[in-house]
């Protein structure tokens, strides 16, 4: 992290704001994963309904991410970032007051709008403020905030269910998520609009339509990056959603129920994010994606084709978290550099959240395929296939390492 000392005051304050925003994004989102079993028991909802609660958030986050990107290009990155943080924080708190499945479903959908918008805007904000030689490390390290938020959710779960009855404990985990909303006060005071955004707005002589990302000069990048993000996120969702179930039900492993395994996964994810952030500046955007795609393919193959013991499974939680998370680190900076100044948040928001929306369907598709061919085979087909798509698409995209955003890169 020596590069962090080289950042100026504005870059550091922006980093703190974006990192904090992504961490609380993860906290608010991951809290739900810890209370699913409690809701199934208390409310008697079916597993398919519980799955719908997860899918609806991801689908609406895809819509919210693109909308936030469009608004950020028009009204500013900092202003829209504040709105998205307030939006998903309020929706998360309201979930704690839900009385039935229908209310919970609606609130999870509304939460998704803000959840998707925060990354789309925060990533562009970081990419535009931090200079090119540190852009990949800074934006990638912001991604590691997800592991921090995930860990905070696990800690809150442990505390809440230790001191409170289940019917109150699950609600309290959503109520406490009001505190991160105060991050908005920090952002409002310390984080400025990027200079490149202000200059682009000042020089604009005509109104640019948000549909311009589908124009002949941009359609190639828009389509390729959307497919790239689908591969990255589809592979991640296929692995993280179904692999624990596969290892538990078909391999008979019990370590998956322990806090130790979860801790190893989170630690691996955090270090994967940090490593990927360094590699994307050191070796380039394309090399980083290719290396981590290969690591993900190897992880999927190893987990589905080899016999594992509980002890080995505990150890291998680290490389699983490392590979599946590290691939995300170079994505933010890469997308920032692939779209022109006046359409950057729009293009980046669309590409990333298109991938999230389609990727959200992968767990369902894995479930259908598993009914006839087995869960291990289905995971291998969808996750392995997704990362192979990432490898192929990456080869068709240009390298953008060191790109100066003040130059016209349209």
Domain for residue 410, yes or no? Answer: no
Asked if 262 and 282 sit in the same domain, the reply is yes
Asked if 261 and 159 sit in the same domain, the reply is no
Asked if 231 and 166 sit in the same domain, the reply is no
Domain for residue 406, yes or no? Answer: no
Asked if 19 and 60 sit in the same domain, the reply is yes
Asked if 234 and 370 sit in the same domain, the reply is yes
Question: pLDDT tens per residue, the chain (410 residues)?
Answer: 788 889 999 999 999 988 888 888 888 878 887 888 788 888 888 767 877 887 788 888 888 889 999 999 989 999 998 998 889 889 999 999 999 999 999 999 998 888 888 878 888 998 899 888 899 899 889 889 888 988 888 888 888 989 999 999 999 999 988 877 788 888 888 889 898 888 888 887 777 788 999 999 999 999 999 999 999 999 888 887 776 666 666 666 665 555 677 788 889 999 999 999 999 999 999 999 999 999 999 988 887 777 777 778 778 778 888 998 899 998 989 999 999 988 999 999 999 989 988 988 887 788 788 778 777 788 888 888 999 999 999 999 999 998 888 764 54
Domain for residue 383, yes or no? Answer: yes
Asked if 13 and 84 sit in the same domain, the reply is yes
Residue range of the domain that includes 26: 1-205
Domain for residue 407, yes or no? Answer: no
Residue that is last in its domain, among 205, 237, 256: 205
CATH number for the domain spanning 332: value is: 1.20.1250.20
Query: What is the pTM for the complete model shown?
Result: 0.84
Burial 10-47 (b: 16+ CB within 10 A, else e): ebbbbbbbbbbbbbbbbbbbbbbebbbebbeeeeebee
Asked if 333 and 352 sit in the same domain, the reply is yes
Give the whole-angstrom CA distance, residue 27 versus residue 92.
10
Residue that is last in its domain, among 184, 205, 226: 205
Count of domains observed in the chain: 2
Domain for residue 5, yes or no? Answer: yes
Give the whole-angstrom CA distance, residue 138 versus residue 131.
9
Asked if 282 and 396 sit in the same domain, the reply is yes
Instruction: Pick the closest to residue 184 from 349, 20, 15 (CA basis).
Output: 20
- What stretches of 117-246 adopt beta strand conformation (E)? none
Asked if 201 and 224 sit in the same domain, the reply is no
Asked if 223 and 368 sit in the same domain, the reply is yes
Query: Which structure tokens are listed for 176?
Result: 């406490």
Residue that is last in its domain, among 205, 225, 254: 205
Asked if 198 and 273 sit in the same domain, the reply is no
Query: Are 354 and 230 contacting, i.e. CB atoms less than 8 angstroms apart?
Result: yes
Angstrom distances, CA of residue 76 to CA of 69, 343, 351: 10, 12, 19
């Amino acid at each position: 992290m020596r590069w962090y000392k080289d950042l100026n005051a504005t870059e550091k304050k922006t980093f703190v704001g974006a990192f904090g925003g992504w961490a609380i994004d993860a906290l608010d989102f991951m809290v739900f994963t810890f209370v699913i079993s409690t809701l199934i028991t208390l409310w008697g909802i079916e597993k398919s309904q519980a799955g719908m609660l997860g899918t609806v958030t991801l689908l609406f986050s895809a819509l919210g991410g693109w909308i936030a990107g469009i608004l950020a290009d028009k009204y500013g990155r900092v202003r829209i970032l504040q709105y998205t943080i307030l939006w998903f924080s309020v929706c998360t708190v309201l979930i704690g007051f839900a009385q039935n499945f229908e209310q919970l479903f609606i609130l999870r959908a509304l939460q998704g709008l803000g959840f998707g918008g925060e990354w789309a805007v925060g990533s562009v904000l970081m990419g535009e403020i931090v200079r090119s030689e540190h852009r990949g490390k800074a934006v990638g390290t912001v991604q590691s905030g997800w592991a921090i938020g995930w860990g905070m959710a696990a800690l809150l779960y442990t505390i809440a269910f230790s001191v409170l009855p289940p019917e109150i404990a699950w609600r309290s985990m959503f109520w406490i998520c009001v505190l991160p909303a105060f991050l908005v006060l920090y952002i409002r005071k310390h984080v400025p609009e990027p200079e490149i955004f202000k200059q682009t707005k000042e020089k604009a002589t005509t109104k640019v339509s948000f549909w311009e990302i589908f124009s002949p000069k941009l359609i190639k990048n828009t389509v390729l990056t959307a497919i790239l993000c689908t591969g990255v996120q589809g592979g991640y969702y296929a692995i993280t959603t179904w692999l624990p179930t596969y290892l538990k039900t078909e391999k008979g492993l019990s370590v998956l129920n322990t806090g130790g395994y979860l801790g190893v996964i989170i630690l691996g994810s955090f270090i994967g994010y940090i490593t990927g952030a360094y590699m994307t500046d050191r070796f380039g955007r394309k090399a980083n994606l290719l290396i981590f795609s290969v690591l993900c393919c190897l992880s999927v193959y190893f987990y589905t084709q080899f016999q594992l013991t509980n002890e080995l499974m505990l150890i291998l939680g680290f490389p699983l978290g490392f590979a599946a998370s590290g691939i995300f680190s170079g994505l933010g900076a890469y997308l920032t550099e692939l779209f022109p100044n006046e359409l950057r948040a729009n293009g980046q928001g669309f590409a990333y959240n298109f991938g999230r929306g389609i990727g959200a369907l992968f767990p369902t598709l894995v479930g259908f395929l598993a009914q006839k061919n087995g869960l291990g085979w289905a995971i291998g087909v969808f996750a392995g296939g997704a990362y192979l798509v990432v490898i192929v698409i990456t080869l068709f995209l240009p390298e953008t390492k060191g790109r100066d955003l003040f130059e016209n890169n349209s």
